Structure 1
Amino acid sequence: MTSILQEAETRFIDSLRARYEADGFTFTAHPDRGDLPDFLGGYRPDALARKSGQNIVIEVKGRSGLADPRLQEIRRLFDGRPDWRLHVAVMGTDPLASVAIAGVEPAAIRAAVKEADALLAQGHRRAAFILAWSFLEAALRARGRAEVGRALSPGSVIQSLAMNGLIEADRERRLRDLIDLRNRIVHGDVEADPTTDEVELVLRTIDLVLEAEET
């Protein structure tokens, strides 16, 4: 089991490397102490990604590892360090499994968005909301900023959009605030119900991403 987990982490870190290097970062897995800033002390992250003005320390965790109290201690190391930030990269419960996702042309995504717009106009906000999130991931993939064949979590989609300058900080924050609502609906919370404005936020973000593809 240990070897399987190690293999899973290695593959996961390799997928992170591909993503960061595609975005112009220099990526170092399991960096040596000499590669790290002094303020990290004895903390050794799983990876380091750097480019001009951006330094990202990467800690890989399984979902159960998010409860690790040491994470709060690690986060505090970055207080007052605007040029450095911590990225806690979460592996799935079965990180060796994959879902084959094909790339889609922008025209096909625009046609699909019209379905969500129609659902919203008919008052089916929850259905429109979930479709909008799936089409947002498709739009990111159409921009060539997501690995074809690999499914992404909503948080990863938003992070990739922000890292690539496709959305501004305020929109990133507002979308992140909706992740919990999206997850509640997907996992069967029948009381969860997005507002029209919340659905529109996701749908219009798709428009922005696709427009950026053409500029």
Structure 2
Amino acid sequence: MTNNTKILYDEKVKSLAEKYESQGFHVLTELKTDELPFDLGNYQPDLIAIKDGSGLVIEVKNSLKRLSVDRLQALAEEVSTHPGWHFLLVTLEDIEAKSLPGTSEQFPSWQELTDRFIQAHKLIENDEIEPAFIFMWSIFEGALRKRAVDVSIPIERFPVIGLLRHLYSFGELSISQFDLAQACFEVWNRLAHGYIENLNLPVVHNFDNLVRELLGKWTVELAISQLSS
């Protein structure tokens, strides 16, 4: 870690600790493995924040590059077995959020996402293609982040391209789904930044089918996992 990187890292850890403390959390940093509330092997988190019987185990990274999400997923799964506890990965490249990481960030329920999808689909049927596409993207991105949380892949705060790549690497998206999502992201990105984009109707319909497919698949898988737990 270079001096500049170390400075950024230290500033991020200090800032997070201060923010959690200001919200009434008891924050511990520079913990040794035997000081953790439960056994995580040799893992040492950057900080833990505890409040009202629940807590966050927090890992801080400067960059998404060379990040071993496989290792962190195993940690996230272990932490989630302890009621009220959640593993949180924070990086300097996270999406912007006004809320405190891991506390008040909320995603719509799967039913809410499905209801929104129906609304977006009706816009397509009414040939309101551009608003339908923009609305559909927000539903898709929400579903990606919610799926990451459900399967304990701690990437829900990643920029969308990193989110897509990691979900693909974990087998949550097929190569064809990943390619379509990337193409749609490029279109959405241009629209979101004010550029004129002539939407290709077949692409919009393919994206509509992709979102429908993933919502159905992930909703069913969640229901099955809840029944078996």
TM band (smaller chain): 0.5 to 0.7
| Percent of aligned pairs with the same amino acid | 15
Match of 1:51 in 2: none
Residue 186 of structure 1 deviates from its aligned partner by 0.2
Tell me how far apart the structure 1 counterparts of residues 199 and 72 of structure 2 sit (CA, whole Å): 34
Q: How many aligned residue pairs are there?
A: 148
Tell me how far apart the structure 1 counterparts of residues 212 and 71 of structure 2 sit (CA, whole Å): 26
**Structure 2: tracts of 5 or more residues without a match:** 14-58, 76-90, 100-104, 222-229
Which of these residues, 156, 163, 174, is aligned with residue 162 of structure 2? 156
Instruction: Give 3-state SS (helix, strand or coil) of 1:11's partner.
Output: strand
The aligned runs of 1:1-215 (5 Å cut-off) are 2=4, 5-7=8-10, 8=12, 11-13=60-62, 19-24=69-74, 92=93, 98-100=97-99, 101-143=105-147, 144-145=150-151, 151-189=157-195, 191-213=196-218, 214-215=220-221
Tell me how far apart the structure 2 counterparts of residues 19 and 202 of structure 1 sit (CA, whole Å): 27
Tell me how far apart the structure 2 counterparts of residues 99 and 187 of structure 1 sit (CA, whole Å): 21
Deviation string 1:167-207 (CA, Å, 9 cap, x unpaired) is: 21122122212322111100001x21322222223332222
Tell me how far apart the structure 2 counterparts of residues 134 and 6 of structure 1 sit (CA, whole Å): 31
Tell me how far apart the structure 2 counterparts of residues 121 and 96 of structure 1 sit (CA, whole Å): 32
Match of 1:32 in 2: none
Task: Report the structure number with the largest CA radius of gyration.
Answer: 2
Tell me how far apart the structure 1 counterparts of residues 135 and 152 of structure 2 sit (CA, whole Å): 18
The TM-score normalised by the length of structure 2 is 0.51
Residue 24 of structure 1 deviates from its aligned partner by 4.5
The TM-score normalised by the length of structure 1 is 0.54
